[in-house]
A and B are shown apart, each in its own frame.
Chain A
Amino acid sequence: MSLGKIISISTMRIEVLLTDTNVRVRDIIKTVDFEPENRFEIAEIKGNIAIAIPFGSVIGLRKGVDVERVEGGLSMEYSSEILGKVFDPYGRLIDGNTIANPVVKNVYERNMSLKEIGTNGDILWTGIKVLDFFAPMQKGFKMGLLGGAGVGKTVLIKELIHNVYKYLRSNSVFIGIGERSREGKELYDEMIEGDLLSKMAMTFGQMGENSMARSRAIYAGLTQAEYLRDECRQDVLLFVDNVYRFVQASSEISAELEQMPIDNGYPPTLLSDVAGVEERINSTDNGSITSFQTVFIPADDYNDAAVHAITSHFDGQIVLDRKVAEKGIYPAVNVFRTTSRLIDVEKVGERHYKLVQEVLRYMARYEELEEIVAVLGIEELSKEDYNIFYRSRKLRNYFTQPMFVAEQFTNIPGRFVKIEDVLDDVEAILDGRYDTTDEHRFLFIGNLYDYKQGNRS
Chain B
Amino acid sequence: MSRHVEELIEQKMADIRTGKNIHETGRVAGVKNYILEIEGLEEVGYFEKVVIDGKAEGYISAIGRNRVYVALTKRSEQIYIGDRVHATGVEFKGVFAPDSLGHIVDMFGVDRMNDMRFDETEDLVIENPPIPIMDRGNVSRPLLTGVTGIDMIYPVGKGQRQLIVGDKRTGKTQLTLDAIVNQKGKDMICIYIAIGKTKKEVKEVYYELLKRGAMDYTLILTAFNDEFPPVIKTTPFLGLAIAEKYMRTGKDVLVVIDDLKRHADVCREIALLTGTVPGRDAYPSDIFYTHARLLEKGCQHKDGGSITILPILETKGGDITEYISSNVISITDGQIVLSTKNFEKGYKPALDYGLSVSRLGGAVQSREMKRVGAVVRRELLAYLEKCEVYELANEDEMSPELRENMRNGKEIRNRLKQYKYSPIPHDEMLHMFDGLVRLE
- A178 interfacial by beta-carbon distance below 8 Å: yes
| A17→B5 CA distance, assembly (Å) | 9
Let me know if B91 and A60 touch, CB within 8 A: yes
Let me know if A148 and B131 touch, CB within 8 A: no
C-beta contact mask, A323-349 vs B, less than 8 Å → 1, else 0?
A: 001111000000000000000000000
Which residue from A251, A266, A296 sits with its C-beta under 8 Å from B330? A296
| Most central of B359, B375, B385 by chain A CB within 10 Å | B359
| A17→B9 CA distance, assembly (Å) | 10
Which residue from A209, A255, A325 sits with its C-beta under 8 Å from B130? A209
- B229 interfacial by beta-carbon distance below 8 Å: no
Q: Which residues, 11 to 55 on B, are CB-close (under 8 Å) to A?
A: 12-13, 42-48
C-beta contact mask, A210-226 vs B, less than 8 Å → 1, else 0?
A: 11001000000000000
| A265→B354 CA distance, assembly (Å) | 32
Q: How many residues of A contact B (CB 8 A)?
A: 86
Let me know if A374 and B276 touch, CB within 8 A: no
C-beta contact mask, B301-345 vs A, less than 8 Å → 1, else 0?
A: 000000000000000000001110011011101110000000000
- A184 interfacial by beta-carbon distance below 8 Å: yes
CB proximity of A434 to chain B, nearest CB, Å: 14
| A370→B387 CA distance, assembly (Å) | 12
Let me know if B46 and A9 touch, CB within 8 A: yes
| Most central of B5, B297, B323 by chain A CB within 10 Å | B5
Chain B neighbourhood of A264, CB < 8 A: 279-280
CB proximity of B275 to chain A, nearest CB, Å: 9
CB proximity of A293 to chain B, nearest CB, Å: 16
Let me know if A95 and B65 touch, CB within 8 A: no
- A59 interfacial by beta-carbon distance below 8 Å: yes
Given the interface pairs A12-B286, A189-B138, the reply to whether A150 lies near B330 with Cβ below 8 Å is yes
Which residue from B5, B277, B279, B333 sits with its C-beta under 8 Å from A180? B333
| A410→B377 CA distance, assembly (Å) | 9
Q: How many residues of B contact A (CB 8 A)?
A: 87
| A444→B297 CA distance, assembly (Å) | 36
- A48 interfacial by beta-carbon distance below 8 Å: yes
Identify the stretch in B182-190, B257-265, B389-397, B418-426 within 8 Å (CB) of chain A at 4 or more residues. B389-397
CB proximity of B395 to chain A, nearest CB, Å: 12
Chain A neighbourhood of B43, CB < 8 A: 62-64
**Interface of chain B, main secondary structure:** mixed
Let me know if A5 and B9 touch, CB within 8 A: yes
| A358→B64 CA distance, assembly (Å) | 64
Let me know if B293 and A207 touch, CB within 8 A: yes
Instruction: Give the interface of A toward B (CB within 8 A).
Output: 5, 7-12, 15, 17, 47-49, 57-64, 86, 94-96, 148-150, 154, 178, 180-182, 184-186, 188-189, 204, 206-211, 214, 248-249, 251-252, 254-255, 258-261, 264-266, 296, 298-300, 322, 325-328, 370, 373-379, 406-411, 438, 440, 443-444, 457
Which residue from B91, B136, B280, B354 sits with its C-beta under 8 Å from A185? B136
Identify the stretch in B72-80, B110-118, B248-256, B398-406 within 8 Å (CB) of chain A at 4 or more residues. B398-406
Let me know if A300 and B293 touch, CB within 8 A: no
- B412 interfacial by beta-carbon distance below 8 Å: no
CB proximity of B278 to chain A, nearest CB, Å: 6
Chain B neighbourhood of A150, CB < 8 A: 329-330, 334-335, 357, 359
Let me know if A148 and B321 touch, CB within 8 A: yes
| A372→B76 CA distance, assembly (Å) | 66
Residue of A nearest to B283 (CB): A265
Let me know if B354 and A376 touch, CB within 8 A: no
| A456→B278 CA distance, assembly (Å) | 53
Let me know if A251 and B285 touch, CB within 8 A: yes
8 more contacts with CB within 8 A, not counting A5-B6, A181-B299, A265-B280, are A8-B65, A17-B5, A182-B136, A255-B276, A255-B285, A260-B277, A298-B326, A375-B392
